[in-house]
Amino acid sequence: MHKLLTFFYLLTLSCWSQNPIQSSLNLMPWPQEVQENEQQFTVTPNLTIAINGPSGMRVPHTATSFLRRLSNRSGVFINEGFPAPFSNDSTASITVNFKTIAALSIETDESYNLQVTANGISINATTDVGAIRGLETLLQLLENDATSYYFVGVNITDAPRFVWRGLMIDVSRHFHSVDVIKRNLRAMASVKMNVFHWHLTDDQGFRVESKTYPKLHTVASDGLYYTHEQIKDVVAYANKLGIRVIPEFDVPGHATAILTAYPELGSKPDASYTIERFSGVFNPTLNPIIEDTYTFLENLFTEIAPLFPDAYFHIGGDENAGKHWNENEAIQQFKADNNLATNHDLQTYFNIRLEKILNKLGKHLVGWDEIMTPNMPKTAVIHSWRGENEGLQKGGTLIEAAQKGYKTILSNGFYIDRMESVIKHYQTEPIGTISLSAEEEACILGGEVTMWSELVTSLTIDSRIWPRTAAIAERLWSNKTVTDVNHMLKRLQVINYNLEAVGITHLRNKAVVLRNLTNNQNIDALKTLTNICEPLKIYSRNEGGTEYKTYSPFTLFADACTADAMDALQFNHLVKHFLADKNEATSAEIKILLTRWADQYELFSKLEKNPKLTPLEPLSLNLSQVSATLLNLLNGKKVPKKTLKECKKQITLLKQPFADTELMIVNNLELLFEALK
Amino acid sequence: MHKLLTFFYLLTLSCWSQNPIQSSLNLMPWPQEVQENEQQFTVTPNLTIAINGPSGMRVPHTATSFLRRLSNRSGVFINEGFPAPFSNDSTASITVNFKTIAALSIETDESYNLQVTANGISINATTDVGAIRGLETLLQLLENDATSYYFVGVNITDAPRFVWRGLMIDVSRHFHSVDVIKRNLRAMASVKMNVFHWHLTDDQGFRVESKTYPKLHTVASDGLYYTHEQIKDVVAYANKLGIRVIPEFDVPGHATAILTAYPELGSKPDASYTIERFSGVFNPTLNPIIEDTYTFLENLFTEIAPLFPDAYFHIGGDENAGKHWNENEAIQQFKADNNLATNHDLQTYFNIRLEKILNKLGKHLVGWDEIMTPNMPKTAVIHSWRGENEGLQKGGTLIEAAQKGYKTILSNGFYIDRMESVIKHYQTEPIGTISLSAEEEACILGGEVTMWSELVTSLTIDSRIWPRTAAIAERLWSNKTVTDVNHMLKRLQVINYNLEAVGITHLRNKAVVLRNLTNNQNIDALKTLTNICEPLKIYSRNEGGTEYKTYSPFTLFADACTADAMDALQFNHLVKHFLADKNEATSAEIKILLTRWADQYELFSKLEKNPKLTPLEPLSLNLSQVSATLLNLLNGKKVPKKTLKECKKQITLLKQPFADTELMIVNNLELLFEALK
C-alpha cells in the first residue's frame, strides 16, 4: 500500500489537478452530491434488506446479488440470504424505497437518494432503476478496519448527466458467449451504465439465429451464434440490471458474412463470398437497387425486432466506400435515373427505406455518423464515431448532429480497442465549451464505449474493456465539473479490483496468458515486463509485421499487456518530477523500479526457451542493462564511457516494438540517461 | 524446473513405484500401447488437417478446436483455421480417417490408432468418437525446444478399459451456468471421459424448467435453473465431444425443493416446505402411497426425458431414512396392507413403479446403491457409492451388483468433494483381485467421479474437480496394470496446466480468492500458505465450527486451498527420506522450504488486516517461528532450551485447524523437530 500512496502523492503534483475532489471515498461514477457524516454502519450476520415498492424483478435481483457480494467481500456469514418485503414493523438494516417499476427507455428516472448512518441505511428512489443504482453506490461505500467491515456514513443525492451510457461489444470479429456478455453486463451495472449495444453482424460472422434465413447462422457464423432463446435470456438479464439492449445489424457495408449466405443480395454480379478472416474495411456490399434486398431486410428485421424490446435499432451504415457499387453498371444507371449524384446519396436512399421498415416495427433507426446526409430524416439517431483520425474534428459530428436536430450519441474518444490511456478517454468531454441551445443540448443523449474485437478473444476482452470503461461511465454519469484525473486514477484502482467480484476476468487471465507463454514456468519476469509494456496502439498491431486473422493466436505477450501499464505510469511521473527538482525521495522511488527492471533478466534467462519467448529476449536483456547503468548513475558511481555509449544504443534499440508491444518507459529512460550521464 | 525434477526424483525412491512407466511422454490417460520412433513432426504455419470419413459434427468440431489450441499453445500463425475434407491428392499434415458416425451408447467403439512420423500424422478409427479421442492424444504429444513446437513421433493403439467414464456435477446445492458445464465437458473430453451425470435436483434447488409443473422452477430454484433450450444446448455440445449426458432427478428423498413447490406430494400431511439452505440429509420425502406422486413423476419424466436422448436415466434413490414415512399412519397402513415389511421394501415398491414409467419412455433406470433390494428388477443399473464410511466394504456394492447380474458403476473411492489426495483416488481399482466370471465382469461398466457442491461455487468448482479427475479418468480408461503413481503425478502436473487451455479456471481463480482475502494487497504470503494447507477433509469443514449455508461466503482461505497441497507433498517426502539417511542434498531441499515458511510471516505481517485474515495470523506466525527453529537445528546452530520448548508448543498449536484448513506438513515438522532437537 505504501507504494501506491506515494505514487498518488506524486501524481497530485502533476499538471492534471483540476476541480480536485477532497473525499477519500472510492465511488465511481462520482455522485452529484456527497455529504459524509462521520458515522459507520457495521456489517454483521444480522444484516437484512427490506424492499418497499411494487413487485418486480430488478430490486430483488440486485438486492440478492448485493447480499452475495457483501458476504463474499466481507467474509460475514449473513443469516438471511435474501431480501424481504417491507412491513411497517420492519427493523431491516437497509430499506429500499421506490414508487414505480420503470419501463426502460431514454426517459427512465435513475435518480436516488442514499443515507447511511450508524443506525440504518435507506435508499429512496422514484423508480426501481434508481433504487438499484443506489444499491451499487452503497456497495462502493464498503470499507473495513482490522476487526469489521462497515458502510461509510453519507447522504448522497444522485442522478445521471446523460441518459445514454453505453458499451458496444463486437461479437462478429470474435464471438463471445452468453456468459461473457452477462459478466460484462454485471460490470456495467456496477458503474451505472445503461445501454448494451450488441454489434451482431459484420464481415467476419453473422451471430444471430434466423429462422427466416437460416443460412445466416448455418453458413455465415462458423457455428458461433446466439439462438433466439439466448438473446431473450441476455435481454431479460440486462433488463433486470436496468440496461437497455440495442442490436446492430450492420448494412449495407460490412456485409461479407450476409453475402456468404445470400450472395444474390450482393452488389457484385455473380460473385461468391466467403467469411472474412482478416481485419479491415472490405468491399462486399448489399445491392441497394434490388427489391430482394429490402424484402430480405424487412423479413429479417421483422423476425428479429421482437427479440429486442427497446425502441432503438442500429443499422450500422459505416465505412461503405462503394467500390462494388461503382463497378456495377445497373447501380450506376439507377443512380442516374434517380438523381442520386453520389454513393452517399444512394446510401441515404437505402437508409431511408430501412427507416420506413423499422418505423413499421416501432423502432427508431440508429446509425454511425456516415448516415447523416442532407435527406436523412430527423427521426434517425446519429452515432458519432469519426474524428481526428478520419480527418474530422474531434467529436464534431456529435455537435453537428445536435445542431441539425438529430438525437445523437458519442463514441469518438471512447474507442477503447485503440489501447490508449484511460486519461485520454476520461478527458473526452462530449460538449466541452461549445455553446448549445437547450434544445440542441437535449439532443445529445450520451455516449458509448466501443469494444471492437478484431484483436481480442473471450480470454482477453475483459482486460480491454475494464477498467477504462468505468472511467468513461463516470464521464457520462457525473457532473461535467468532475475532472480530477488523480482522484479518478486512485478510485479506479479500487474499482478495478472490485470488478473481479462480478466475474470480470481481466486480472486473473493475465497469468493464464503468461503461463501459456512460458509453458507453465515462473512468470515473475514476464509480469514485470507487462507492467511497463503496452500493446501497439491505434490498430498498428495489425500493420506491418504480423497480420492477424480471426483464428490467429491471441495468447501471446501483447495479449497479457494492457493500456495504462501500471509501473510505466508511475515511472514516467517520477522521472518528470525528479528531473525538475532532483529530489532524493523521488530518486529512491526510481531506484526501486530500476532495480526491479535490472533484476528481471536473471529470472527471464532461467526460463526454458520456446519460440513464443524468443522475441522478448532482447527486450528483457537490454532493459536489464540500461536499468543497471541508470542505477549506477543515480547512485553516483563512475560509469565507463564505453558503457554509456552502449547504454545509448540499448535505449535506441528499446524504442522498437517487441512482440507487438511498446516499452512505455523508454522515453523517460532516455531523459533520465541524458540528465545523468 | 530444477525443483520439480528433484522432487520427482525423490518420489521415485518412495514405496509407490509399481509397474513403472519409462516413457517421458505426458499422456493421460495412458494409452494401451505406445511405441516411440524418435521422429518429430514440426508445427508450421502450413499445418493442415484433412477429414476422411462420413460427414458429422464431432470430428470437424474437435479438429477446429484442436487447431485453435495448437495455435494458442505454440504461437504459430496457422494459415488454415479449419479442417478440410479429404481428397485423394491430399497433402494434409494430419489425416483423420474413420468409417462411421457413432450413436453414443455403452456400445460405442472409442478405439483409435495414431501414427506420428516426421512426414505426417494419421489417425485411424472405426468411429468418429475414436477419431476425436485420437486427436486429444495427439495434442498431448505437443512438445517444444527453443526454436519450434513439434509432435513426438509415436505409434499408439488405444481403446478404453471401461465403457462408462463419468463425472457427476451437483448443480442443486450450488447452481452452475451453462458455460461452467461446457468448460468442464471440454476438460472431460481432453482426458477421454464420456459420461456427464447431471445431478439436477436435490433439497437445495430444482434446476430444470418444467412446463408441466412450472412451480418446480419458479418456486423451487431461486431463479437458478436450466431452460429446455439450455439443456438441449448442453446435450448437443456434449454429443459433439463424444460425451453422453445422464440426468438425475433424485427421489423419493432429497425432495425438499420438489415439495416446496408441490407440498401435497410429501409424506408429512399438511406440511409446508421451504428450499433447504444447509447441507446434510433431510426428511422431506415424496409420498409413495398416493397415485398423485406417480402421475406427477410420469408427467414430469415424460416432459423431460426427450431432452436427454441417452438410454439411461438416474432417479437417485439414496439416503432416505424414512422418518416422515414412519410418522405417517396411512403409509404404515399401506405397508401392512401390501406386505412391505420395511421402508426399504416400500422404496423398492416405489422404484419398481418408476422403472415401469421409465421403461415406457425407453429409458433404463439408474439409482444409487440403496435401490439394490431383493425385488429390484435386473434391468436397473446400480450406482455404487457407499463404502467404508457407511459401514460397508470399499466398493463392495459394485461387486455385489455384478455378481447379482446388475449392470453397475463405481463412485465409491471417487468422491472428490471429500478433498482427499489424488493418490487415494488413483489407487481405487474397481475390481482389484476379486475373481469374477466374464459375465460378471461385463456387468461392471465403469465409474463416475462425484462433485457434490455443498462447499463449492462456480468460482471454486474447477479447483475441486481438476486435476484429480484426470487421474481417475486414467484409472477408468487405461490398463489395470497402469499404476505407477510417480509417473502419474509427473504427467498430472503437465495435464493440470493444459486444462487452462480449455477454459478450466482452477489455477487463475486461486489468485482471485487471495486478492479478495487481502482486499487486493500482495498475496505472496498467502500463496505460500495455500501450498501447504488443505481444506478440512471428508465434510468436517461443515462440522463443529462454521456451518455453511448455500449463500455463505465461499471466498475465504479454505476456498483458495486445494487437495494435494504442492509443497506439502514435497516436504513430507523429503522429511521421510532425510530421517532415513540424513542426506545433505535432501537437507538442502528442506532448508529451501523452511526458509520460505520462515520468511512468509514478514510479508503477512505487512498486510493491512481485515477480519478475513485474522484467523490466519497464528498460523502464519507460529509456522514462521517453527521453521526458523528447525532451520537453526538443521544448520547445526545451538538453540536455547526455552526456544525448543516453545517450538514444541507451537507445533502442537499448528495441529489445530485454521480457517477451516489443516496444515499438511505439521506431522513432519514434528518428526523433524524430534529428530533434530
Quote the CATH superfamily of domain A164-484: Glycosidases (3.20.20.80)
**Nine-digit cell at A514?**
503468461
Interface contact flag, B149 A611, Cβ < 8 Å: yes
Task: Produce one character per residue of B185-219: b if its CB has 16 or more CB atoms within 10 Å, e if not.
Answer: bbbbbbbbbbbbbbbbbbbbbbbbbbeebeebbeb
Smallest CA–CA separation between B135 and chain A, in Å? 19
pLDDT of residue B396: 84
**Is A72 within 8 Å of chain B by CB?**
yes
Rounded to the nearest integer, the mean pLDDT of chain A is 95
**Alpha-carbon distance B588 to nearest alpha carbon in chain A (angstroms):** 20
Q: Does the distance separating the beta carbons of A546 and B519 come in below 8 Å? A: no
First to last CA, chain A: 33
Give me the residue from A61, A227, A553 closest to B229, CB to CB. Answer: A227
For chain A, the structural domain boundaries read 33-158, 164-484, 509-676
Q: Is A95 on the interface with B (CB under 8 A)?
A: no
Q: Are B555 and A75 an interchain contact pair (Cβ–Cβ within 8 Å)?
A: yes
CA–CA gap between residue B181 and residue B465 (Å, rounded):
12
Do the Cβ atoms of A626 and A633 come closer than 8 Å? no
pLDDT of residue B545: 63
Distance from CA of B670 to the nearest CA of A (A): 31
pLDDT at position A388? 84
d(CA B576, CA B590): 11
CA–CA gap between residue B560 and residue B555 (Å, rounded): 8
CB contacts < 8 A (A, B): 146
A122 min Cα distance to partner chain B (Å): 24
User: Would the CB atoms of A551 and B507 count as touching at under 8 Å?
Assistant: no
Cell 445491392 identifies what position?
A: A287
Q: In angstroms, rounded to a whole number, what is the distance separating the alpha carbons of residues B566 and A642?
A: 48
Q: Report the pLDDT averaged over residues A241-253.
A: 97
Of residues B277, B521, B609, nearest to A146 (C-beta): B609
Residue of A nearest to B507 (CA): A512
**Bridge pairing between strands A120-127 and A94-100:** parallel
> B2 — contact with chain A (CB < 8 Å)?
no
Q: Which residue of A has its CA nearest to B504?
A: A512
**CA dihedral sign, ordered B150, B153, B159, B161:** negative
Residues of A in contact with B511 (CB under 8 A): 507-508, 511
Q: Which residues of B touch A63 (CB under 8 A)?
A: none
Spatial separation of the C-alpha atoms in residues A317 and A366, rounded to whole Å: 9
Q: Cβ contacts of residue A17 below 8 Å, gap of 6+?
A: A484, A485, A486
Q: Is the pLDDT of residue A13 over 70?
A: no
Is residue A224 less than 8 Å (CB to CB) from chain B?
A: no
Cα separation of B81 and A473, whole Å?
A: 37
Please give the DSSP secondary-structure letter assigned to residue A157: E
The whole-angstrom distance between A396's CA and the closest CA on chain B is 40
Residue A319 bears catalytic tag:
yes
pLDDT digits (tens, 9 = 90+) for A187-203: 999 999 999 999 999 99
pLDDT surpassing 50 at residue A476: yes
Do residue B500 and residue A516 have CB atoms under 8 angstroms apart? yes
| Residue pLDDT, tens place only, A524-583 | 999 999 999 999 998 888 766 678 999 999 999 999 999 999 999 999 999 999 999 999
* Chain mean position to CA A510: 17
| CB-CB under 8 Å, B515 with A511 | no
Rg (CA), chain B: 27
Q: Does B505 touch chain A (CB under 8 A)?
A: yes
List of residues 6+ apart from A119 with CB closer than 8 A = A41
Q: Which among A148, A177, A555 has the least Cβ separation from residue B179?
A: A177
Considering only CB atoms, A71 lies closest to which of B1, B82, B552, namely B552
Q: What is the pLDDT of residue B416?
A: 97
Q: What count of other Cβ atoms lies within 10 Å of the Cβ of residue B99? A: 15
String of DSSP letters for A421-474 = -HHHHHT--SSTT----HHHHHHEEEEEEEE--TT--TTTHHHHHTTHHHHHHH
CA distance B492 to chain A (A): 13
Q: Does A645 touch chain B (CB under 8 A)?
A: no
Q: According to the model, what pLDDT value does residue B255 have? A: 96
Residues in B 163-182 with any Cβ partner in A closer than 8 A: 177-179
What pLDDT sits at residue B201?
98
Cβ-nearest to B515 among A74, A500, A609: A500
- What CA–CA distance (Å, rounded) separates B247 from B305? 9
* Surface of B (297-356) touching A: CB under 8 A: none
> Which DSSP letter does residue A658 get?
B
Q: Do B77 and A553 touch (CB under 8 A)?
A: yes
pLDDT tens profile A271-310 = 999 999 999 899 999 999 999 999 999 999 999 999 999 9
- Nearest by CB to A149, which of B77, B556, B611? B611
Q: Between B61, B500, B551, which is nearest A515 by CB?
A: B500
> Which of A36, A80, A298, A319 does the annotation list as catalytic?
A319
Instruction: Find which of A184, A519, A547, A609 to mutate to test the B interface (most B CBs within 10 Å of its CB).
Output: A519
Q: Residue A448: what pLDDT? A: 98
Instruction: State phi, psi for A413 to the nearest 5 degrees.
Output: 100, -15
B298, B303, B319, B429: the active-site residue: B319
Cβ-based neighbours of A601, under 8 Å, separated by 6 or more: A525, A620, A621, A623, A624, A625
**B610 vs A1: CB contact, 8 Å cut-off?**
no
The architecture in CATH of the region B33-158 reads: 2-Layer Sandwich (3.30)
pLDDT score, position B6: 40
Q: What is the mean predicted confidence (pLDDT) over A597-605?
A: 98
Rounded to an integer, what is the distance from CA A113 to the centroid of its chain?
Answer: 27
Which chain B residue shows the shortest CA-CA distance from A546? B77
- Measured between CA atoms, the residue of chain B closest to residue A610 is B146
> A 3-62 residues with CB below 8 A of B?
61
A504: nearest CA in chain B?
Answer: B512
A381-384 vs B364-368, strand pairing mode: unpaired
A-chain CB neighbours of B467 within 8 Å are none
User: Which bin fits A580, alpha (ψ -120 to 50), beta or left (φ > 0)?
Assistant: alpha
Q: Could you count the other beta carbons within 10 Å of the beta carbon of residue A636?
A: 8
A611 with B74: Cβ contact below 8 A: yes
d(CA A672, CA A670): 5
CA distance A166 to A9: 33
The three-class DSSP label of residue A337 is helix
- Closest by CA to B166, choosing from B472, B437, B405, B416, is B472
CA of A53 to nearest chain B CA: how many angstroms apart? 20
User: What is the C-alpha separation between A440 and A398, in angstroms, rounded?
Assistant: 10
State whether B81 and A179 contact (CB < 8 Å).
no
pLDDT of residue A9: 40
Contact B512 A500 (CB under 8 A): yes
Interface test with A, best of B145, B211, B546, B555 (most A CBs within 10 A): B555
Which pLDDT does position A5 carry in this prediction? Answer: 38
Give me the phi and psi of B256, to 5 degrees please. -55, -40
Arithmetic mean of pLDDT, A417-429:
97
Comparing alpha-carbon positions, the chain A residue that sits nearest to B511 is A508
pLDDT value for B228: 98
At residue B554, the pLDDT reads: 97
Q: Which residues of B349-369 are buried (b: 16+ CB within 10 A; e: fewer)?
A: bbbbbbbebbeeeebbbbbbb
CB contact under 8 Å between B146 and A610, yes or no, is: yes
Residue of B490, B496, B500, B521 to mutate, interface with A, max A Cβ within 10 Å? B500
Q: What is the pLDDT of residues A317-362, one digit of tens each?
A: 988 888 999 999 999 999 999 999 999 999 999 999 999 999 999 9
B277/chain A closest Cα distance in angstroms: 9
| Residue ranges in chain B modelled with pLDDT below 70 | 1-18, 543-545
Cell of A196: 448494451
DSSP A500: G
Q: Does B515 touch chain A (CB under 8 A)?
A: yes
Say what the alpha-carbon torsion angle B585, B589, B591, B593 is, to the nearest 10 degrees. Answer: -170
Which of B71, B223, B520 minimises the CB distance to A551? B71
Q: Same fold for the domain at A33-158 and the one at A164-484?
A: no
Which grid cell is B469? Answer: 479427475
d(CA A201, CA A632): 56
Q: CB of B249 within 8 A of CB of B170? A: no
**Cα(A490)–Cα(A467) distance, integer angstroms:** 12
